[in-house]
A and B are shown apart, each in its own frame.
Chain A
Amino acid sequence: MQTDTDPATTAIESAESRRDAALAGTRAIAPLATGLIPLALTVGATAARAGLPPLVGWASSATLYGASGQLTWIQMTHSGAPAALVVGATLLVNMQMLLYGAAMRRYWASTSRRWRVAAGFLLVSPVFAVATERFRTEHDPVRRRWFYLAAGLTLWTTWLAVTGIGYAFGGLPSLPVLATLSPLVILSLALRAVRDTATLAAMVVASTLAIVGRCTPYDIGTVAAGITGIATGLVVSRVAHTEAPPSGNAEP
């Protein structure tokens, strides 16, 4: 049996399919992007008030995409930490990207290296969340790519625009409550990562040590506190694991 396929019709259907996938990506990320507006405003304002050279703080929204890494970089740079320490702390706080990247590689296996770098750049927690959810039911690689690209670019442009607004307002006269917003956002990010006793222990030990060692030169105390917190989490997790019977729960 022979089937007639009109190339023009196929091209139109293909374009519509890609457009639908892109629209689905934008729709999927929109609620998450909206929810991030207060955070983006605060990050922008923090960048403006950190005393960095003009526009560097806002440029960090474009290149160092992601609230945790960006705030870490801003705070460490603001405190005058050496370059290696700033980059090292940003690396540590962004370690979760390694897991996201590892989880996404099976979806990116058939793509070009250029695509993988671009997709990696757009990979942040909300994009990872909507993409992995979508990819469970979407098996067409082209539609997957358009979905991912639309979701990633929507969030990135929203982040860039809203942090820009925050950056513009950050230069307004100083109020103590505005200066408190940034530490509260960082605290919220830390508490959001607390899932069990081990992660709570990691956070409590790290924050306590950072307070004690906040006068150390070059902000070494903060990084040392973070590393000690990670070690504490590992130890507590190991102790809890050896004491408790295996539950069979897989880590997300």
Chain B
Amino acid sequence: MSTWITLVAASIVTVALSAGPSLIGTRSELPAILRHANRFAAPALMGALAGRSLANQASTTALVPVLASVAAAVPVALRTRSLSLPVVAGAAVFVVAAAIG
């Protein structure tokens, strides 16, 4: 039950963020600090989640394949800006490294 409640609450909060500015009015500007901090929300929060979940993954499987997959995915992500290619590269290297190790 509490899972459903957090889902509904998180969904309402998300719609409030995207629809809120147009519901409030068309003249007021967002505070500068909020606009500026917004640039860093995605890399910081997603980076934190990625770090934690990769560390958890390394502790449940093996460290080397996880590190190898990250080492493969990062340059591909930075070079291509794609969402899928880094995952494909990282997964392929993970399979190879796990097989070798």
Contacts and interface: CB of A to CB of B under 8 A. Distances in A.
Interface of A: 35-36, 38-39, 42, 52-53, 56, 59-60, 63-66, 68-69, 71-73, 75, 77, 83, 86-87, 89-102, 104-106, 108-109, 113, 116-117, 119-121, 123, 176-177, 179-195, 198-200, 202-211, 214, 219, 221-223, 225-230, 232-234, 237, 251
Interface in B17-70: 17-23, 26, 29-30, 34-57, 60-61, 65-66, 69-70
Interface of B: 2-11, 13-15, 17-23, 26, 29-30, 34-57, 60-61, 65-66, 69-70, 73-74, 77-78, 81-84, 86-88, 90-91, 94-95, 98
A173 B81 CA distance: 31
Contacts of B19: 101, 116-117, 119-121, 123
Contact of B26 (A109, A176, A189): A109
B73 A199 contact: no
Given A64-B10, A98-B30, A188-B86, A200 B3 contact: no
Nearest to A236: B40
Given A177-B98, A192-B77, A233-B40, A38 B45 contact: no
9 contacts: A59-B7, A86-B10, A89-B45, A93-B41, A98-B20, A183-B57, A186-B50, A189-B46, A221-B52
Nearest to B25: A105
A53 B38 CA distance: 32
A57 to B, nearest CB: 9
Closest 7 pairs (CB-CB, A-B): A120-B19, A229-B44, A233-B40, A207-B51, A105-B22, A203-B47, A190-B46
A89 B44 CA distance: 11
B3 A207 contact: no
B6 A86 contact: yes
Given A38-B83, A91-B14, 8 more contacts: A99-B35, A105-B21, A177-B95, A179-B60, A184-B86, A185-B83, A214-B56, A226-B49
Given A105-B21, A207-B47, A222-B48, A181 B87 contact: yes
A211 B52 contact: yes
A177 B22 contact: no
Given A94-B17, A188-B86, A233-B39, A116 B23 contact: yes
A222 B52 contact: yes
